[in-house]
Structure 1
């Protein structure tokens, strides 16, 4: 095959993706005489069997790819327990007909009609693109079809590259180039070094050695530089908040992002932005110091410290990243076509009451004030989509049709038991899944500055916004807004009673003058939290523990309301607290990330600076799960109270 001609025709063609069909054959099943209705790729993903394409036989075992033209006869049989495959059907024409040279090439060796097959050396990189394409195609909207078509080109690019390399004997492909290209174009994806190496068909240690040899750095270091350089441009070229920037490069935890940024640049993100504005610098510190290794493409990737990864049993939509304009187009298209209606003929009843009564009540609305202004909402909402306020909504038993959660997160099992669809979308909101849930009301936790997200949500359904960190105020307001005011007040009362009893028990057990240091250490540095930090303030402000003296001194040097400070590990022996509360990782860490964070803490615990802490020597160190300590809500805060009581042997 002449690969230059092959690629030229693919470049000059306009392609229409016609269909993607995923099917399987069990042992003994056969497919006979199926005529391909169009040009097609046959992507075998699992099993052993025999494929005949226009009389040419192929033995397949595991991943295998074949291509055939329209009208070719396909026969298949499974020789194992099952054979799974997909047909990717498409049509291709020259975008500009009449070019004699291209016409001759097309007649002589059209890549769209010829037959070929091969077993890829690195099938997972192909399969990941197929999965994204297939998932998008199944959603059926025009926008999804357009996205699937774009991924189809990536699929063809990958397979042609692998075929050419294998035919030319280039078994040792440039893994580093492929890895860096993937990193620079997929910074918001859930990627680990191990996962990247698996896609490339090598071990993570081998990939790391290649990086070190060719670039003088490791994949993790390359990752961090890509992400921080992208963040530095956003800081200098936009007015986006730190939370927005952090999310855009894949970090859900803005404090973790701040720490990584400061470690790389020497200054905090806010100081960098201020400094850049003063001197009109439009480049990152890497460019100034000559340390840049990343071209200015504006992309990064998630390393082992990534704050999310795909969970196999979740409904994941992270593979589809939509621009604001695309989201607006999607929402407006579906809403005008009637897809957003909440009272369709096939819509199941959601209450035990009279359908006529429910419909009449749902048609009534009232004005509700919230963080983003005032909205007209249904008096009796029955289909509420929730993002970030699931803890509150579960506590008042609100009727949810959409939530954000992931396996391992403290609310996940409860949401699953109540059969509430749980979608976890790293880096932002998933407008499509919210739209698909057909809500009559959306309740979200947004930053006051995130007006863009609020506007997009409001195009789907009436949207009201509340602050998760001040959950007692928010639950009272939400209860009043959706007709569950009594339940909300009951939740507050029960919590206050539990808090009061816990504080009395703690004072009775350890006294009213014992000091606490709440920290989050890593192998490089440590975060020291102040009482103003909304996630850990319960230990100081509500349960009465006193801020450790050294931390109190640091707090007095910072602005009012500062969450805390980052310090070197050498500061640890200066902590004279009676008790040390320690958390690791982030609130939405995967199981693997949570275990990795605990292993990192084990390394810290072997250091002399750690062993020199008085509370460590006295055995007064208690580990707290970040999965609920780094969030707020009646359930999360109740679990925090239980943790503190358990630490003092009061449970």
Structure 2
């Protein structure tokens, strides 16, 4: 393949993107041979399969790129694992007015039809481009049409650039190198160990260890280093505002960025910029901080898990801004007096306002004070939200139990959470707003909420609710424990005393459950929590399914390897059958659907010591899918009673 000739012809071509689609096939699923209606690029993102391209058998695996022309026959012969790939169909033509020499080159090299396959060195860059293209398919605006074409050219440059750099040889580099390349070009986007591990089909724990072994640092620390270095470049070479720079490197909160920058460099961004000006007198004037609504970020910039739109804090109560108004009352009074004067036809030479106008202004000020006293401001990941000081009609999605714990009964919630079997409170008055994935916004509107509390970190979802009523987003994983969670809702809803009373009872019940299992088992016996869907998964102490009850309340011991790998941000790990015995404890709790217990016939499962000794305890997944303070304490009591019934003599 003559890369330069291909690029020359592409440079003269007219391109139209016909379709970008994602194809997903289940394990062992086949797709009969069919002919593609246009030239195409195919990017495999997940799974493995045998495929035939024009009759030539090859392995599809992440992140293989395949190119072919119109009429190419594609057949998925057998999928070994669930397969996902993107297909870009395009039409490329040469203008009629082009030189005959170009037409001859086109006939010789056929870049729009030439079949080839490669394994790119930077697959995540290609994946990012294709996903952006897919989001634009079907949109008719001129901007969207131009944008999707420009993305296609970026894809071409990535593919041909890597082919050229590798001298037309297919190369495969290790996941760490690919991840580093991706981070250097996508540092402003949210990047997590979980995201990278998922892309390469690795466990987060393994990806983190491999990355640190290779680079000497964590994924998050590596991203931060890139961001700070880029910020230094822009601070010293441009007069962009701090807000612009902060946003461009991935931090929407400029004040958080400034603290982080000073922590890393010893200088604030302004001080750093000024120092660069002293060394370079031609540097432009210093930037200004553009005001930005506050976001919710962790205060500890030493924590490697802080970044982007983090939701974990040392003290959730500090997210409240208890100032009564964002506009000082003295300023409000001055404004009202000014408006009153204007309404009376005042000019620059006008006399002082009349007593009637002054009385009117005083009444308006008093009314404003009363209105402000009935609200408070809460900082969330999507900015500050003004909410009622005492909300009366609350709607939530899946946070019903957490709100019930502080003595408040919402008017609406998702039906699966109303049906939570661990709720003992009366929820007859709570109306359903839909199922887990089918929320009825019309129903939410009909309930006339004065406050909406939802579990989400999706801004588009948040904005749908925020159009109905003041909305507070509390994403999954916000709290370190049940006490932190209940106190948060107590403060949010003005029910601090109720929250403390509930927690006192919670502690009493937890201690009683713990005492029930004390002495039941020899010291050092371990308990593993597993989940079965179509594979075995090991769970940590903060992933629901009974984890908090087993490990935090009853304080049963996990296997050492489980505590080592799953007592942090990674809380769920898919494992192969071959290593089951390494993660299985002396006892096993396993969660699965009542009609999904195929694991019991697995030969490797049957060989486990806990299975042979009858020390396996099955939980029905629907019942144990809830995760909230009410559920956690009830599960602890249920598990304690189950163990006592089996082992107490």
TM (norm. structure 1) is: 0.42
TM (norm. structure 2) is: 0.42
Q: Which has the larger radius of gyration?
A: 2
